Amino acid sequence: MREAWIIDAVRSPRGRGKTGVGSLSNIHPQRCMAQVLNGLKDKTGLDPNDIEDVVLGCGTGSGDHAHDIARMAVLDAGWPISVTGVTLHRFCGSGQQAVNFAAMGVMSGQQEAVIGGGVEFMSRYSPLHANGFHANNEHLRDLHPQVPQGISADLIATLEGFTRDDVDRYAVESQTRAAKSIADGRFNRSLIPIYNLDGTLALARDEHPRAGTTLESLKDLQPSFIKMAGYHAEGFDRPFNELVKKVYPNAGALNHVHHAGNSSGVVDGASAVFVVSPEYAKSRGLKPRAKIRQVATAGSEPLIMLTAPGPAAKRCLQKAGMTKNDIDLWEINEAFASVVLKFMRDIDIGNEALNVDGGAIALGHPIGATGGMLIGTAVDQLERLNKETALIAMCTGGGMATATIIERM
């Protein structure tokens, strides 16, 4: 099987995901994604006529994200109408899955030049996005009851014994690392400034991080999911916390440790990764930055939902013939602090080489766009730190995870 090379990876800045507050919220997500595509074109000199598909992840298919946003972004970018686009949905892992599918197309020999990535404007979510995971399917609801992810994160903390201090300390470290990375310009290489329709600059750097966050500043934040856990949603035979007891009878009372300061930020953004075959790169004089060594997915129990990154990483390592000791850097999406703490315990690693530039707690998590962002961040890190390999993993809704191993070239 031939290799899949990453020529470059770019992203928009992450804007706060609140209408009228976030700097990107007045820009249509198609327009933002189009600007990211053209930013990638300008950086690499790629010929859009050569692109065989644009594969984008998006965590919602309604409202302004509807109607195959990948194809619409290609058209909005002014690219040839021959360039196709397809949009996929694997919840939070959508963008990473899009890049993995791009790599699969190249590795299989079916494609030569593909763009993977994603887009999500959380400021523009429609009411339809609020449907539960079971989508009113009574059989699925009874077979696999699922609860809002914040409750799942608190369940992980409860079962694993993670305290409020544990998750808050992790959150402070994420903010500290992100603040230093921003101050040092570590993200600058991959950032594509986003402009308003009138040509004025909308956003050039991430606006969600809160530099100076401390344990003291987090201590007064109240847990976010206590009230939600007691909510009796329509169609369910009991409140969410009773559903947890039904599936995990030995869990006891939930320890509600998560709040806005140790959970991923609500933001808008877009990402794109240019993946090609070695033959194509050589024929066009393109220099690769990394290659995709292996990809994998894994599933886990769907109510706790967020525990599959460890199994996905292990499967990816096994398929690549590698062990954890062969990985220099780790990028694990910070959906909630307990998710990353659980991953470190599952893989038996510390945090010295994990999320070295901070993560979604500080920077934000634009659902379908995040996977492409994390892969691009890992490419930048490998070059900056003179390392060789990185593993990227993300939990997703429904009890799944995606994983990717890349190697610097």
For the stretch 363-392, pLDDT in tens is: 999 999 999 999 999 999 999 999 999 999
Q: Token match 């595509």: residue?
A: 37
User: Residue 56 to residues 26, 36, 109, 285, 338: CA-CA distances in angstroms?
Assistant: 21, 12, 20, 26, 28
- Looking at the predicted structure, is the pLDDT value of residue 336 above 60? yes
233-288 residue pLDDT tens? 888 889 999 999 999 999 999 999 999 999 999 999 999 999 999 999 999 999 99
Burial 315-354 (b: 16+ CB within 10 A, else e): bbbeebebeeeebbbbbbbbbbbbbbbbbbebbebebeeb
Using one digit for the tens of pLDDT, what is the confidence trace for 133-182?
Answer: 778 888 999 999 999 999 999 999 999 999 999 999 999 999 999 999 99
| Predicted pLDDT of residue 127 | 58
Neighbours of 242 (CB within 10 A): 14
In whole angstroms, what is the distance from residue 367 CA to residue 61 CA?
Answer: 12
pLDDT digits over 67-112, tens only? 999 999 999 999 999 999 999 999 999 999 999 999 999 999 999 9
DSSP 98-156: HHHHHHHHHHTTS-SEEEEEEEEEGGG--GGGG--TTTT-HHHHHHS----HHHHHHHH
Is residue 66's pLDDT more than 60? Answer: yes
Residue 232 has pLDDT above 70, yes or no: yes
For residue 129, pLDDT beyond 60: no
What HEC string does 247-279 produce? HCCCCCCCCCCCCCCCECCCEEEEEEEEEECHH
d(CA 333, CA 335): 6
In contact, 100 and 116? CB cutoff 8 Å:
yes
**pLDDT averaged over the chain?**
97
Task: Quote the pLDDT of residue 53.
Answer: 99
What is the reported pLDDT for 369?
99
pLDDT of amino acid 131: 54
Active site residues: 92, 365, 395
Closest CA to 245 of 299, 300, 304: 304
Q: What is the pLDDT of residues 215-228, one digit of tens each?
A: 999 999 999 999 99
State percent of the chain over pLDDT 70: 99
More confident residue, 173 or 61: 173
Q: Which two tokens stand for residue 184?
A: 């040092």
pLDDT of residue 28: 98
* β partners of residue 391: 330, 405
52: DSSP letter: -
Q: Can you give the C-alpha Rg of the chain in angstroms?
A: 20
Q: By the 8 A CB rule, do 400 and 300 touch?
A: yes
Identify the pLDDT of residue 405: 99
pLDDT at 23: 99
